[in-house]
Amino acid sequence: MVFVVRAPIEAPSKNPPLAIQLAPRLLTIRRKKMKKHKRRKRYDRDFFKYQKYHKEKKLKAEREFIRRMKAHLAELESFKPEQYVEETIAAAKKEWSDDLAPTGRKRYPHWSRLMSLEELYGIPKSDYIDKNAGLAGEEDAAKIKQLKTEYDNKYRGN
């Protein structure tokens, strides 16, 4: 005995099937393939031109290398050991009097060591510069003190 299970039969849905958008991606792929094809064609066409360019580039680099090596050899041939030793000893004996900062750089003098205030402002040397020019005098100090006490009494309640 065989049992057969029958599924119910349904009518297809009324909604139209959704259209899959593939065209933009296919166009992109096609464009990339075309570019690759054109690049290969151009390389095949201009192969000897590229070969010539790379050969010239290598020759130029080789000439530069040879020039640098010749300069090194010329420097080696012109080297005088006695003169080098004398220069090294002279540098070791040199007395360094420059004032250096803790970081090791040369410390330059402040402008006040190089010129006075009179020279800076163009005042004759005989003129006296009053260091307390902006401070109040005795009579003004008493008046200021009185005004301060009045302010404290009026606004702070002291």
Per the domain annotation, does 33 fall within a domain? yes
Per the domain annotation, does 87 fall within a domain? yes
| Residue 3, phi-psi category: left (phi > 0), alpha (psi -120 to 50), beta (remainder) | beta
Per the domain annotation, does 86 fall within a domain? yes
Q: Looking at 18-22, 52-56, 136-140, 153-157, which range is the least confident one?
A: 18-22
Contact of 88 with 82, CB cutoff 8 Å: no
Per the domain annotation, does 111 fall within a domain? no
At residue 129, the pLDDT reads: 66
Per the domain annotation, does 42 fall within a domain? yes
- Per-residue pLDDT at 127 exceeds 70: no
Per the domain annotation, does 38 fall within a domain? yes
Task: Tell which residue, 52, 56, 75, has the closest CA to residue 64.
Answer: 56
Range of the domain at 74: 29-92
Q: What sign does the CA torsion over 25, 30, 31, 37 have? A: positive
Per the domain annotation, does 149 fall within a domain? no
Number of domains in the chain: 1
At residue 137, the pLDDT reads: 83
Contact of 90 with 99, CB cutoff 8 Å: no
At residue 122, the pLDDT reads: 81
What average pLDDT does range 6-24 have in this prediction? 82
Q: Where is pLDDT greater, at 76 or 97? A: 76
Give every CB contact of residue 111 below 8 A, 6+ residues apart in sequence.
120
**CA 112 to CA 109: how far, in whole Å?**
8
Q: Mean of the per-residue pLDDT values for the chain?
A: 87
Per the domain annotation, does 125 fall within a domain? no
At residue 111, the pLDDT reads: 78
Beta bridge partners of 100: 106
Is the pTM higher than 0.85?
no
Q: Looking at 2-6, 28-32, 77-81, which range is the least confident one?
A: 2-6
